[in-house]
């Protein structure tokens, strides 16, 4: 699969790295000259490719957005035409002062993103934990995989993202339509408060048990 990354810092770089190693053609949407972040990602995995943002997105089947939430408008606006019809994986979180919801819990960041890029198929995923768990998603000693919750409106796009989640070592858990994104963003805030403000390990993840 052709996958483009817009943003490849703490979150984007390990995901891009592991997806390339899983056999995908992964391209970083990068301006010339390459930023420090792009160079760092390439140092980590020299099989990652770079291309100007419009070209990278145009050729992609799936586009990951892993930018600071405030940059989403500029980042998607720069490739608006090329994004049309694409699966857009929203890895971003709106976080406000005091670790409150960045949009005052009135609307989710993903719904805002969908309105910024209306002709894309937005799927929110890879947001509910810190980047440490994207660096390494193995939890040896357990007979269940950590769960990656995701949501979106388009069933086909969600199937594609579920497959990528599985390849990265998670159990994909479809939590519903894009209206669920607000709740996922609160799950994220819970994790961040527990770990970044509290004393929980950054390797804390959730699992889904059923009977």
Residues that bind ligand NAP (CB under 6 A): 6-12, 35, 37-38, 66-69, 71, 74-75, 91-93, 95, 127, 130-131
Name which of 155 and 161 has its Cβ closer to ligand NAP.
161
Name which of 22 and 99 has its Cβ closer to ligand NAP.
99
**What would the two tokens of residue 209 be?**
């048990």
Name which of 110 and 127 has its Cβ closer to ligand NAP.
127
Taking CB positions, which residue lies at the least distance from ligand NAP? 9
Burial of 148 (0-12, 13-18, 19+ CB in 10 A): buried
For residue 37, the minimal CB distance to ligand NAP (Å) is 3
Burial of 198 (0-12, 13-18, 19+ CB in 10 A): exposed
Alpha helix locations (H) across 29-153? 36-44, 53-59, 72-77, 80-83, 109-116, 132-135
Name which of 74 and 208 has its Cβ closer to ligand NAP.
74
For residue 161, the minimal CB distance to ligand NAP (Å) is 15
For residue 17, the minimal CB distance to ligand NAP (Å) is 13
Looking up tokens 């608006």, which residue turns up? 80
Name which of 34 and 209 has its Cβ closer to ligand NAP.
34
**What would the two tokens of residue 11 be?**
């979150």
For residue 143, the minimal CB distance to ligand NAP (Å) is 26
Q: Give every CB contact of residue 194 below 8 A, 6+ residues apart in sequence.
A: 200, 204
For residue 162, the minimal CB distance to ligand NAP (Å) is 18
CA distances to 4, 53, 113, 116 from 77, rounded to whole Å, are 16, 11, 11, 8
Residues 194 and 44: their CA atoms lie apart, in Å, by 29
Residues in the chain: 211
For residue 169, the minimal CB distance to ligand NAP (Å) is 16
Name which of 50 and 127 has its Cβ closer to ligand NAP.
127
């Amino acid at each position: 699969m052709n996958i483009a990354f817009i943003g490849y810092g703490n979150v984007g770089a390990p995901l891009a790295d592991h997806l390339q190693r899983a056999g995908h053609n992964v391209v970083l949407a990068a301006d010339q000259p390459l930023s420090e972040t792009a160079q760092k990602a390439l140092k980590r995995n020299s099989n990652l490719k770079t291309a100007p943002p419009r070209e990278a997105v145009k050729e992609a089947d799936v586009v990951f957005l892993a930018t600071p939430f405030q940059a989403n408008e500029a980042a998607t606006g720069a490739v608006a035409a090329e994004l049309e019809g694409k699966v857009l994986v929203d890895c971003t979180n709106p976080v406000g002062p005091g670790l409150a919801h960045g949009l005052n819990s009135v609307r989710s960041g993903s719904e805002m993103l969908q309105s910024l890029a209306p002709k894309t198929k937005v799927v929110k995923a890879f947001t509910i934990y810190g980047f440490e768990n994207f660096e390494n998603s193995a939890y040896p000693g357990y007979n269940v995989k950590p769960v990656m919750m995701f949501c979106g409106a388009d069933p086909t796009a969600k199937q594609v993202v579920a497959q990528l989640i599985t390849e990265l070592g998670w159990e994909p858990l479809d939590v519903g339509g894009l209206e669920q994104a607000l709740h996922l963003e609160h799950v994220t805030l819970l994790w961040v408060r527990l770990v970044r403000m509290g004393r929980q390990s950054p390797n804390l993840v959730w699992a889904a048990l059923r009977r």
